[in-house]
């Protein structure tokens, strides 16, 4: 359902590939249950680390 150049972009991890394409690839590989893992923020270590850096170091009670 996708072109060969698009599949190559998926294999290379190109950010321009849509989530729907990844869903098609996961379905074809029999791994569609892993689709939820893509959007799970608990698997995004870099994002979690960046967010923790933005937290205030000390919180004062009013």
DSSP string, 2-58: --HHHHHHHHHT-TTS-HHHHHHHHHHTT-GGGHHHHH-GGG-HHHHHHHHHHS-S-
Q: Comparing 33 with 60, which gets the higher pLDDT?
A: 33
17: how many CB neighbours lie within 10 A of its CB?
A: 17
Q: Which of the four pLDDT bands, split at 50, 70 and 90, describes residue 4?
A: very high
Give residue 42's pLDDT: 84
Query: In this predicted model, which residue has the larger pLDDT, 55 or 3?
Result: 3
Asked if residue 32 lies in contact with residue 39, where contact means CB atoms within 8 angstroms, the answer is no
- Contact present, 21 and 8 (Cβ < 8 Å): no
Using one digit for the tens of pLDDT, what is the confidence trace for 6-50?
Answer: 999 999 999 999 989 999 999 999 999 888 887 788 888 888 888
């Amino acid at each position: 359902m996708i072109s060969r150049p698009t599949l190559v972009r998926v294999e290379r991890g190109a950010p321009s590939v849509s989530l729907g394409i990844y869903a098609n690839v996961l379905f074809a590989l029999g791994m569609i249950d892993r689709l939820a893992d893509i959007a799970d923020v608990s698997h995004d270590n870099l994002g979690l680390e960046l967010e923790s850096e933005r937290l205030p170091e000390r919180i004062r009670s009013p």
